[in-house]
Chain A
Amino acid sequence: MSFFSRPDVAAPDLVVACMGLDGRNETSLKALLPLLRERFGLHCQLSEDPTRADLVFYEAGNRLAQALLRREQAGQGALYVACSAQPDSAEVLPLPFSASRVLGRLQEARSRRSRTPTAGAGERVVQLHQLLDQPDAAGVEIEIGGQLGWLDRSRRQLHWPGEVDADLLAGLISGPLRLRPVSALQLASATARSLTAQSWDRLLWPLAVTSGGATPLPGLVSGRAFRIEDWPDFGTLGRRPVDLRCVALLLRRPLSLDQLVALTGLSPASVLGVLNAAALCRRLQGVSVQPLARSAVGTGPGSIGALLGRVRRVFSMEAA
């Protein structure tokens, strides 16, 4: 069955996600949720996709979570809860989790539950993708909050008055924004100013993955396979196990969305978020689908996968 015709499963009371928490705390939350369901009848489902969650527990310093939080503060409704082993304010949830504090946040999230889809962010990703595709444009001018920056298509660079931060990401996701294509001459003139040149992945990759994989970008059609030619610098983008897993596979051979879902066991929305990000960053190439060897699918982790699992456990690393 294709992702594009996949039926919805029964909805839980709340969808809960984690961002940037170490494996120990994530495991403890996973253990707590069924207990709270048994005791208080609150059915919560854990999701790896924070953009579809009603409640997100995030490590207080996580930059992507901070950007999403700013969007939520713009009125979309999900509850974001900062967590830290050393909380510096009463609003930060102390780690490790306690049942009573988690229950309090679950009840708060349920009371404000809103399932507003992230169409706004998704539309911006599509718009940006289309502008970058215009044959007569060398780049795109971005205006956010009175600041101007430029995306240079040939160099895959962003020129911005400073480094990409959570405010810029939040502005691009949900703030007032103006985008317009620019010619090579306009781009050269604009980027001659004193701006910080940086890889555009730092802006575009998080933008695409936070749009939630709700909408496939043009070209990401069912029945096509995709490959990635080179690795984004996840040292600067930050570690997201979903990204690492999908990119490692797409570097090895072209895969369709359904094949990636089957190989990884990840949700279609998560995988689509990665494909959208790679497409927006111009790292994705489409080719014809080739069938997978039967041995590659549904056999559980191999010896390397098992070793990876042990490494993640011993270092308390979040898994994909």
Chain B
Amino acid sequence: MSPAAESKLLFAGPMGAGKTTAVATISDRPPVSSEADNLDRGQCDKASTTVGLDYGETRLDDGHRLRLYGLPGQERFAFLWRVAADGALGVILLADHRRPEGADQLTPYLEALDGFARRGAMVVGVSHADRGGLATGHYSSALLARGLRLPVFTVDVRQRGDVLLLLETLLLQLEAVELLS
């Protein structure tokens, strides 16, 4: 990584998984959101959804800026995912465990952001699951079937500690790649 004064971090996943909340949880200031009425209530029963990008940022102690981008969840915005991914440090991919399609909900994001997943620049957070630790097994198995050994953690994205756990693990994975490559 260059000594640039900023890094970009992406939050991806389907509607309702908690991307907007996760960005807001660790952003220094209220994120800029592009919410619009949700016209696709069959996909997710919430009144509004992100149609552009959510944007937040965190200033580190040396002025380094960590830019936080929440990607729109709907697949018709896949072109935007790829544009936003350019130069990003990594991806926090969120899943909504209430969705009936289970681990398949991650497929479009894993395909569009495959390069991040392959080089370990991705972590998966499963929201809306109980804390028994069984929910994540389905997602881990689906990832392993794709040859991916990514961390899959049960999280509540309203909790700053949970979002930071994902961020820290992402950075530790990148550090491991850097150390052992």
Residues of A within 8 A of B (CB): 157, 163, 196-199, 201-202, 229-231, 233-237, 239, 241, 244-245, 248-249, 251-253, 263, 292-293, 296, 301-305, 307-308, 310-315, 317
Write out, one digit per residue, whether chain B residues 141-179 have a CB within 8 A of any chain A CB (1) or not (0). 000100001111111000011101101110111111111
Q: Smallest CB-CB separation from A299: which chain B residue?
A: B179
Interface-centre pick from A229, A253, A304, A315 (highest chain B CB count, 10 A) = A304
- Contact count band on B: 35 or more
Taking CB atoms, residues of chain A closer than 8 Å to B169 are 234, 244, 248
Seed contacts A199-B134, A231-B149; 20 additional CB < 8 Å A-B pairs:
A163-B131, A199-B133, A230-B144, A231-B151, A231-B152, A234-B151, A234-B153, A235-B155, A237-B133, A239-B165, A244-B172, A248-B169, A249-B176, A252-B173, A293-B180, A302-B175, A303-B1, A304-B171, A304-B175, A310-B61
B180 and A252 contacting across the interface, CB-CB below 8 Å: yes
Cα(A233)–Cα(B162), bound, Å: 12
A317 and B164 contacting across the interface, CB-CB below 8 Å: yes
Selected contact of A248 from candidates B153, B154, B172, CB within 8 Å? B172
Taking CB atoms, residues of chain A closer than 8 Å to B133 are 198-199, 201-202, 233, 236-237
Taking CB atoms, residues of chain A closer than 8 Å to B62 are 310
Q: Tell me if B125 is interfacial: C-beta within 8 Å of chain A.
A: yes
B132 and A163 contacting across the interface, CB-CB below 8 Å: yes
B162 and A230 contacting across the interface, CB-CB below 8 Å: no
Selected contact of A235 from candidates B1, B136, B172, CB within 8 Å? B136
Cα(A307)–Cα(B168), bound, Å: 10
Q: Smallest CB-CB separation from A252: which chain B residue?
A: B176
Q: Smallest CB-CB separation from A234: which chain B residue?
A: B153
B176 and A251 contacting across the interface, CB-CB below 8 Å: yes
Selected contact of A252 from candidates B131, B151, B165, B177, CB within 8 Å? B177
Cα(A154)–Cα(B172), bound, Å: 30
B144 and A249 contacting across the interface, CB-CB below 8 Å: no
Cα(A241)–Cα(B167), bound, Å: 12
- Pairs of residues from A and B, 7 with the lowest C-beta to C-beta distance, nearest first: A199-B133, A235-B153, A235-B154, A198-B132, A248-B172, A231-B151, A310-B60
Taking CB atoms, residues of chain B closer than 8 Å to A236 are 131-133, 136, 153-154
A45 to chain B, nearest CB (A): 26
Cα(A248)–Cα(B123), bound, Å: 11
Residues of B within 8 A of A (CB): 1-3, 7, 26, 58-62, 64, 66, 120, 125-126, 131-134, 136-137, 140, 144, 149-155, 160-162, 164-165, 167-169, 171-180
Taking CB atoms, residues of chain B closer than 8 Å to A244 are 168-169, 172
Selected contact of A308 from candidates B26, B136, B149, B168, CB within 8 Å? B168
Taking CB atoms, residues of chain A closer than 8 Å to B136 are 233, 235-236
Selected contact of B175 from candidates A199, A201, A248, A315, CB within 8 Å? A248
Q: Smallest CB-CB separation from B171: which chain A residue?
A: A308
29 contacts between A and B (CB under 8 A): A157-B134, A163-B132, A198-B132, A202-B132, A230-B149, A231-B140, A231-B149, A231-B152, A234-B165, A235-B153, A235-B155, A236-B133, A239-B168, A248-B176, A249-B180, A251-B120, A252-B177, A252-B180, A296-B180, A302-B179, A304-B1, A308-B175, A310-B61, A310-B62, A311-B66, A311-B167, A314-B59, A314-B60, A315-B164
Selected contact of B60 from candidates A202, A245, A311, CB within 8 Å? A311
Q: Smallest CB-CB separation from A296: which chain B residue?
A: B179
B134 and A252 contacting across the interface, CB-CB below 8 Å: no
A235 and B162 contacting across the interface, CB-CB below 8 Å: yes
Taking CB atoms, residues of chain B closer than 8 Å to A303 are 1-3, 178
Q: Smallest CB-CB separation from B28: which chain A residue?
A: A314
Taking CB atoms, residues of chain A closer than 8 Å to B167 are 311
Taking CB atoms, residues of chain B closer than 8 Å to A251 are 120, 149, 173, 176
B181 to chain A, nearest CB (A): 9
Taking CB atoms, residues of chain A closer than 8 Å to B162 are 235
Interface-centre pick from A230, A263, A312 (highest chain B CB count, 10 A) = A230
Q: Smallest CB-CB separation from B7: which chain A residue?
A: A307
Interface-centre pick from A163, A231, A239, A310 (highest chain B CB count, 10 A) = A231
Q: Smallest CB-CB separation from B165: which chain A residue?
A: A239
Cα(A310)–Cα(B58), bound, Å: 11
Taking CB atoms, residues of chain A closer than 8 Å to B134 are 157, 197-199
A298 to chain B, nearest CB (A): 11
A41 to chain B, nearest CB (A): 35
Cα(A177)–Cα(B76), bound, Å: 57
A249 and B132 contacting across the interface, CB-CB below 8 Å: no
Selected contact of A263 from candidates B66, B137, B177, B179, CB within 8 Å? B179
